[in-house]
Amino acid sequence: MPDITDLQERRRLGQELRGIREQTGLSGNQFAKRLGWHQTRVSKIELGQQFPTEEDIRAWVGAAGDTGAVTRLLALRDAAQMAYRTFRQQYRDAGGAAGRQADIAAMEAMAGTIGHFEPAIIPGRLQTFGYALETLRLPSGPASWGASEEEIQLAAQTRVERQQQILYDKSKRIRVVLLESVLHTRLCSPDTMYGQLDRLLSLDGLPSLELGIIPFGVQVPVFPLSGFIVYDDHLVIVETLTGEQQLSDHAEVSRYVEWLDLLRGAAVTGAGARPLIRRALDGLGDSTTEPGA
């Protein structure tokens, strides 16, 4: 990631389109006018920040007078649309688990709106250092791809540090939806889980964050097969145990945006969410250590 999966093919497509535009001798603004688009749309496509539709590509080469390139460009688009990279590849290319966390931060910095649904784990951007560290140490974490304890420690620290760049940025809109079961899923020690739940309570009221929780007993409108992240209505990341799927096709992304809206509609937020978090805290009971003990 400055991406979250590999956006190499997506960037390559943008670079190819930019090269075709530059061959016309037109600036981005001039080319946008020829297409009848806003200049920022041309810029985002060339930078790989917006995924072009098939119609966009055909219009682009038509405006440039290079229709012979359409087959090659559509093949590049198909490759970018189905990008999937394993975590092993990502850790290798980013220079380790901490490098991957830095790449995620770069992707988040580019996005204005981030939507995130999780059925089983607290999302990374809301995690405490302890929760991040213990979950990264799990058998399904970076250690299984060769990361050392030192690298895992650094990855957890980098994950927490990137929160400062996004949660407290008032220009961002972060919409997180969790199933209530996430608050009770023991992926870490009781003491660490207590601190994590307390952290969720402390985040209430941040201008950038909408934290929604779908309570037990409320019908979930979307089958919660896995978590997913939506970036600016242009990119969806679906995570598996071994890697991440990148979806950029407009029709697919639109469905995920629709599903996220349905999940948000079923969730309670603010004052409605706080009792659910407190109930999970109470459920930890005597399994936690008293402060100062």
CATH of the domain at 43: 1.10.260.40
Helix (H, G, I), strand (E, B) or coil at 14: helix
> Is the same domain home to 269 and 170?
yes
In this prediction, residue 86 has a pLDDT band, given cuts at 50, 70 and 90, of low
- Number of domains comprising the chain: 2
Q: Quote the crossing angle between the two packed helices 54-64 and 28-35, to the nearest 10°.
A: 110
Residue 209, domain member (yes or no): yes
Q: Quote the crossing angle between the two packed helices 54-64 and 70-81, to the nearest 10°.
A: 150
In this prediction, residue 204 has a pLDDT band, given cuts at 50, 70 and 90, of confident
> Is the same domain home to 150 and 242?
yes
- Could you tell me where the beta strands, DSSP code E, fall in 180-250? 209-214, 228-231, 235-239, 243-247
Half-sphere exposure of 237 toward its Cβ, with a 13 Å CA cutoff?
Answer: 22
Residue 77, domain member (yes or no): yes
Residue 1, domain member (yes or no): no
Domain with 51, as residue range(s), is 8-81
Are 225 and 239 spatial neighbours (Cβ–Cβ below 8 Å)?
no
Q: What pTM was estimated for this model as a whole?
A: 0.71
> Is the same domain home to 63 and 168?
no
> Is the same domain home to 150 and 234?
yes
Residue 292, domain member (yes or no): no
> Is the same domain home to 116 and 71?
no
Give the model confidence (pLDDT) of 156-189 as tens digits.
998 898 888 889 888 999 999 999 999 999 999 9
Give the model confidence (pLDDT) of 42-84 as tens digits.
998 998 778 888 899 999 999 999 888 999 898 888 777 666 6
| Domain of residue 205, CATH code | 3.30.870
Please say which residue of 81, 106, 121 terminates a domain.
81
Predicted local confidence at residue 102, as pLDDT: 67
Structure token digits, residue 93: 């290319």
Please say which residue of 60, 81, 102 terminates a domain.
81
Question: 244 forms bridges with which residues in the sheet?
Answer: 85, 239
| DSSP of 31-93 | HHHHHT--HHHHHHHHHTSSPPPHHHHHHHHHHHT-GGGHHHHHHHHHHHHT-EEEHHHHHHH
Residue in the block written with tokens 């978590």: 227
Residue 151, domain member (yes or no): yes
**Residues near 253 by beta carbon (within 8 Å), at least 6 away in sequence:** 51, 230, 233, 234, 235, 236, 247
* Segment 80-104 mean pLDDT: 65
Predicted local confidence at residue 75, as pLDDT: 86
| DSSP of 92-107 | HHHTSHHHHHHHHHHH
Predicted local confidence at residue 57, as pLDDT: 94
> Is the same domain home to 134 and 274?
yes
* Segment 254-278 mean pLDDT: 96
> Is the same domain home to 142 and 40?
no
